[in-house]
Copies of this chain bind each other. A is one copy, B any other.
Amino acid sequence: MVRLVQKFGGTSVADIDRIRTAAGRVADAVAAGNEVAVVVSAMAGTTDRLVEWTREIAPVHDAREYDVVVSSGEQATVGLMALALQAAGVDARSWLGWQVPILTDDVHGRARIGEIDPDELLRRMAQGQVPVVAGFQGLSAARRITTLGRGGSDTSAVALAAALGADRCDIFTDVDGIYTTDPRIVAKARKLEKVTFEEMLEMASQGARVLQTRSVELAMNHGVELQVLSSFVDAPGTFVVNEDEDVEQQVVSGIAYTRDEAKITIVGVPDRPGIAAGIFGPLAETSINVDLIVQNVSADGQQTDITFTVAQADYDRALGMIEAARDKIGFSRVEGDPEVVKISVIGIGMRSHAGVAQKMFNALAEKGINIQVISTSEIKVSVLLAEEYTELALRALHTAYGLDDGENA
């Protein structure tokens, strides 16, 4: 007997037929003798519509009421899924966030899960009942409904799996696993059998967008094994595991990219303490997320250049704020380019292998692609390129690292 949490995303419960298909997967897992708990998202498109309605009423609004509105989508799907399971002969009942309860802090719209008391669910699971738990939602100490932010149902599923002491958390979605890179761009992209939490974290935050980043962190911290798989294809997906379980230990397991980056360079910044804080403090205060930051040592000890990236949506606002602070910071000029792509080569094996970055630089140089900015961490190398090179660079790197389908990585 294995204890499983099965999570179905919006496309997997997009209509009644798909809910039936998903229920069939749960029924199979139950018939195989497993204890199963289910977590569901809202039907695809529902949350977008609800969010749009709240914006139509007022662009800025009470996040507590926003949460009441947007959490209604999951309420419909838990009931429908419970009915579909019952119709498939499985004992099931729905659980809303406030019924479990899934306690969270009171940061409405992006709440964090605190405690989940698993006793009642475990008792029922032991009797053969499948709890169908609403993803994305929780309950604050003030007994208001909270939501966890977009993609939050992944986090609900992992948190529930941790609380239940589940052996695995299966994330059913519309892709059949994690790929070495985007298969829409690189035809030879390969589905990974296993990937480590650390790699997955880098991939998720680098734009792979299969799993909410926080859910991966949570799984890593609680040692919850994840599987990402398709609800439409009956085949194993990609397992996200601890480093010590990944026997392959690939040097590079994947190449992620994000086009949603804009680059800003501040030229001639005085090289003295507190300057970086003076630049990035105001950006943070207005909720502009800064991704990559590069500052080189100053050649003359007087002045340096600082380059950073922000989401394209924040580009104009960030530029304006930097310009406005020109006198205070005292730089010579600011340059920007919204048309860049960030490409990252990711692999846990990098830690023990030299030459990974060099291979990247060579591969790009061979194609005549200029690298604008380089940033590295323990398990990834990221570069900023002109956006037009995205496809060319991805294919070249995929081949250079031996990731193409048919080759052994």
Q: Given known contacts A20-B57, A99-B143, is B69 in contact with A76 (CB within 8 Å)? A: yes
Counting chain A residues whose Cβ lies within 8 A of the other chain, the interface size class is 35 or more
Q: Are B65 and A82 neighbours in the complex by a CB distance under 8 Å? A: yes
Q: Given known contacts A54-B83, A57-B87, A58-B86, is B76 in contact with A64 (CB within 8 Å)? A: no
Q: CB-CB contacts of A74-100 with B at 8 A, as 1s and 0s?
A: 011011101110110000011010110
Instruction: Determine the chain B residues whose CB is within 8 A of the CB of A64 once the complex forms.
Output: 93
Q: Are A66 and B54 neighbours in the complex by a CB distance under 8 Å? A: no
Q: Are B76 and A62 neighbours in the complex by a CB distance under 8 Å? A: no
A187 at the interface (CB under 8 A from B): no
Instruction: Determine the chain B residues whose CB is within 8 A of the CB of A53 once the complex forms.
Output: 16, 76, 80
A357 at the interface (CB under 8 A from B): no
8 A Cβ contacts from A115-173 to B: 143-145
A19 at the interface (CB under 8 A from B): yes
Instruction: Determine the chain B residues whose CB is within 8 A of the CB of A16 once the complex forms.
Output: 53, 56-57
Q: Are B78 and A57 neighbours in the complex by a CB distance under 8 Å? A: no
A61 to B79, CA, bound (A): 11
Q: Are A68 and B79 neighbours in the complex by a CB distance under 8 Å? A: yes
A104 at the interface (CB under 8 A from B): no
Point out residues on A near B: beta carbons under 8 Å: 16, 19-20, 50, 53-54, 56-58, 61-62, 64-69, 71-73, 75-76, 78-80, 82-84, 86-87, 93-94, 96, 98-99, 143-145
Instruction: Determine the chain B residues whose CB is within 8 A of the CB of A72 once the complex forms.
Output: 72-73, 75-76, 79
Of A56, A64, A71, A76, which is in contact with the most chain B CB atoms at under 10 Å from its CB? A76
Q: How many whole Å from A102's CB to the nearest CB in chain B?
A: 15
Q: How many whole Å from A337's CB to the nearest CB in chain B?
A: 38
**Residue from the list B58, B71, B76 in contact with A83, Cβ < 8 A:** B58
Instruction: Determine the chain B residues whose CB is within 8 A of the CB of A56 once the complex forms.
Output: 16
Given contacts A57-B80, A65-B93, 13 further A-B contacts (CB under 8 A): A16-B56, A58-B84, A58-B86, A62-B82, A62-B86, A65-B82, A65-B94, A69-B76, A69-B80, A71-B75, A72-B75, A96-B145, A99-B144
A98 to B87, CA, bound (A): 27
**Residue from the list B58, B66, B94, B96 in contact with A79, Cβ < 8 A:** B66
Q: Are B80 and A54 neighbours in the complex by a CB distance under 8 Å? A: yes
A53 to B46, CA, bound (A): 14
**Residue from the list B65, B68, B83 in contact with A65, Cβ < 8 A:** B83
A70 to B154, CA, bound (A): 25
Q: How many whole Å from A408's CB to the nearest CB in chain B?
A: 46
Which 7 interchain pairs have the tightest Cβ spacing?
A68-B79, A69-B79, A72-B75, A58-B87, A72-B76, A65-B82, A65-B79
